[in-house]
Amino acid sequence: MNELKKINNALISVFDKNNLEQIVTKLDELGVNIYSTGGTQSFIEKMGCSVSTVESLTSYPSILGGRVKTLHPKVFGGILSRRGLAEDETQLKEYGIPEIDLIIVDLYPFELTASSGASHEQIIEKIDIGGISLIRAAAKNYKDVLVVPSKNEYRPLLNLLDDKQGFTNLEDRKSFAAAAFDVSSHYDGHIFEYFDDSKKSLKLSVQKSSSLRYGENPHQQGTFYGDLNEMFIKHHGKELSYNNLLDTDAAVSLMADFHGCDPTFAILKHNNACGCATRSTLKEAYEAALAADPVSAFGGILICNVPIDLETAESIHNLFCEVVIAPAYQPEALELLQGKKNRILLEQKNVETPKQQVRSVLNGYLYQDKDSVVDQRANFETRTSIQPTDDQLSDLEFAAKLVKHTKSNTIVLVKNQQLVASGVGQTSRVDALKQAILKANTFKLETKSAVMASDAFFPFPDCVEIAHKAGIEAVIQPGGSVKDQLSIDYCNEHNIPMVFTGVRHFKH
């Protein structure tokens, strides 16, 4: 089953010719007869290597502006013929079809063209027909044919040619065939996505992956699908774990809403901010964020919206934390923070993240747009007779950003651009508020003159009553309850400004 098969004939038709020269040279040295067409044929001829045109095999020219080159029985018969099957061998001989043992293809860059702003006509012309057909045919007949489906497989092919001098075994061919179907399914998936407006089908295809030490817990397997190198420069530390990745995602999403703001620092634990503050300097922002909950900060994820300087790094260095994320690091700051062996230091690139979210539920998947709404004072609607002050509006805006990124049910308390405390993931909004007040008291942070944000409406006035007794002086919420007026009336009676955003921010 694993006998070696010699490569006698190869067909090469590629879009990207970078690094192809070594392969062609090696095939020429091994005496392999090469068939090619179009630009690839010209490339090989300029190298001075022997190449036969596909047209000489099919007796047909490339037609329809290059749309039809290799689609011919004399090409596909040579790929799909079953070696050792008498009937197939007879037909090959009858029609003068050579067996083709190696197919090398690199497809038209449809995905790149579709995302480049090209016209519809240009995108359509980048739908590869001949190449994808060659890939599928060769992969189907992997028992006899080796297929190289993209430029990413050029190096593995060259290694194979060097190691086995033009011979392949079944294991080799099956491995390349798997890569081929990966390429073809990914390619077709992006074409479908371009054409599909109905969203009746969900097709996900990510070709890069990283094995994780384990999943959410040690007894669960975990894999990350994607390319973190596109998003971060990793300066130091161990590999990101499954939970690190979840926390990092939450941190990046939160800090995106503070882009362009004064220096802001956040500390997250289990996807929720346990500290966050905006100040005139990054060090002050970090220290204010840490003050909100120095206990939960232990082992947390740290993120900021401006480069980390040495002064801030000196403060951070005293804390055990899993990950630090920043848009940049001063060299001295980076050197200091690298002093802890396992601390992960990430420099975030300016890369756009997906605008949709997918998660598995029951026997299917949920798909939704990301919550991209950032509540800003320009859209606030004051529903009480008393208006919030400018300082209160600033804190309400700050609190609204935080509450959006905190697990429901949640209440967030903010004072002077600092997270005072939050109640997180409670089944009752009243319990979330009580938890926040208790936490603030535990860390000796004043709730008097603080503001309160809720991720959803108040169906009863109990929360605003409890908040008032704790000294909270302004409230922001989405509104939308049939009993909104009860909370509005209480606030009016006690001179508490209440602002509606009109946007709910459940997070589960």
CB 317 within 8 A of CB 337: yes
3-state secondary structure of 319: coil
- Of residues 1, 358, 35, 15, the one with CA closest to residue 202: 358
Helix or strand holding residue 276 (H, E):
strand 272-278
Angle between helical axes of 86-95 and 73-80 (0-180°, round to 10): 150
What DSSP line would sit under 230-259, residue for residue? Answer: GTEEEEESS---HHHHHHHHHHHHHHHTTT
Maximum alpha-carbon separation in the chain: 98
Angle between helical axes of 170-195 and 154-164 (0-180°, round to 10): 170
- Of residues 160, 162, 166, the one with CA closest to residue 101: 166
Please give, one letter per residue, the 3-state secondary structure of 388-454: CCHHHHHHHHHHHHHHHCCCCCCEEEECCCEEEEEECCCCCHHHHHHHHHHHHHHCCCCCCCCEEEE
CB 57 within 8 A of CB 75: yes
Structure tokens at 39: 């630009």
Structure tokens at 395: 């804190």
What DSSP line would sit under 195-235, residue for residue? Answer: H--S--S-------EEE-S-SSSTTS--EEES-GGGTEEEE
CA distances, 223 to each of 1, 210, 226, 328 (Å): 32, 6, 10, 28
β-strands 146-148, 102-106 pairing: parallel
**In DSSP terms, which residues pair with 421 in a beta bridge?**
413
Contacts of 481 (CB under 8 A, 6+ apart): 457, 458, 459, 487
The amino acid that residue 201 corresponds to is S
Structure tokens at 313: 């790094």
Cite the active site residues. Answer: 140, 270
Q: How many other CB atoms sit within 10 Å of the CB of residue 300?
A: 25
CB 263 within 8 A of CB 305: yes
- CA angle, 467 then 470 then 471, to 5°: 95
Q: CA-CA distance, 380 to 373, in Å (whole number)?
A: 13
CA distances, 201 to each of 115, 189, 195, 314, 411 (Å): 21, 11, 12, 51, 37
